[in-house]
Structure 1
Amino acid sequence: MDDRLPIAILIKILSNHIKRNLDTAASFGPLYNITGTQIQIIGYIYHSPKDDIFQKDIETKFSIRRSTATGILQLMEKNELIKREPVEYDARLKKIILTEKALAVSRQAHHNLTDLEEQMTKGISPEELAVFRSLIWKMKTNLEELV
């Protein structure tokens, strides 16, 4: 352990390890060829308390431009992860529906994340994790003040 490394660098190192582990776990099975962003969108739709999710919701939630969201959702549709269906109350809107393939992706991603979390927190007490979570949220809040 190097106590001289800046916190931002330590977080980046940890983030790299998390990404590498998740990428390795996703290199086969239902997650094969599914991007992290697509997995996050599937998770957002799956866990959303809203009945209908639209492209605008994706744009807002992930802070992405309309053109970026369009490209991601078109690829997800092509790969049979989502369907877009019109809603009765506004012919211009199409709600995003997860397919069975996307539900399998969601289950596998949840399993991989649970396994990773268990590995990451091995030997760390609940009290230490509570402090860690609190500090992470405080740092996030501090950084939000900059923008």
Structure 2
Amino acid sequence: MQQMEQPIGGVVKCLSNQIRRHLDAAASEAGLVELTGTQGMILHYLLRNEGRCLTQRDVEQRFQLRGATLSRLFQRMEAAGLLERRAVSHDQRCKQLLPTDKARAMHVQFVSCLDETDHLLRQGISPEDEAVFRAVCLKMLDNLLQRDHENDPAAR
């Protein structure tokens, strides 16, 4: 099936998969063998927001990932020495996510991988088309989140 005939969700999923693969390969080529693209994106988010008390819930919302998926991911990141989880003083069940010095050292190289990927994605696309694409993607995301919220019995 040609991409233009594929449902829009399929096209977005293929793009997402290809971006993840590209980031994984770029990180590996940069010598960041302990860091996947997803882990790098999460560390990038945590480091850009350092000073804020970010928890698993914040990462779930930012990346639209499920709790169980993140729990396993964070366990691997802790085992690799990239992340610490510390209890928050006001709620011992809640864990603050703290990048380690090892993660900080990898961050500069990973940002180069992100920049290179972003540059590659934007090739041949005008700023106007990029703005439309971004707006359409955000609207699609909002549509899905709104539907999820409407179907969530806890939200009623």
For the criterion TM > 0.5, the same-fold answer is yes
Give, as a single letter, the amino acid of the residue that structure 1 aligns with 2:140.
M
How does the TM-score come out when normalised to structure 2? 0.71
Map of 1:140 onto structure 2: 141
* 8-17 or 111-120, larger mean C-alpha shift: 8-17
Contact 1:22–1:112, Cα closer than 8 Å, also in 2:
yes
1:20 paired with 2:37, answer no
Provide the C-alpha distance between the structure 2 equivalents of 1:90 and 1:143, rounded to a whole number of angstroms: 33
How far apart are the structure 2 equivalents of 1:8 and 1:94? 33
Unaligned runs of 5+ in 1: none
> d(CA) in 2 for partners of 1:125 and 1:55?
36
The residue number in structure 1 matching 2:131 is 130
Structure 1 residue 81 displacement after superposition: 1.0
Q: Which has the higher contact order (CA 8 A, sep 6+)?
A: 1
Instruction: Give the gaps of 5 or more residues in structure 2.
Output: 149-156
Secondary structure class of the residue paired with 2:84: strand
1:41-52 matches, cutoff 5 A: 41-48=42-49, 50-52=51-53
Q: What is the Cα deviation at residue 113 of structure 1?
A: 1.2
Deviations 1:3-22 (A, max 9, x none): 32322222222223212211
- Give the length in aligned residue pairs: 145
TM-score by length of 1: 0.75
How far 1:25 sits from its partner (Å)?
Answer: 0.6
Render the CA deviation track for 1:27-70: whole Å, top value 9, x for unaligned.
244521323442233123212265333455445655533x6544
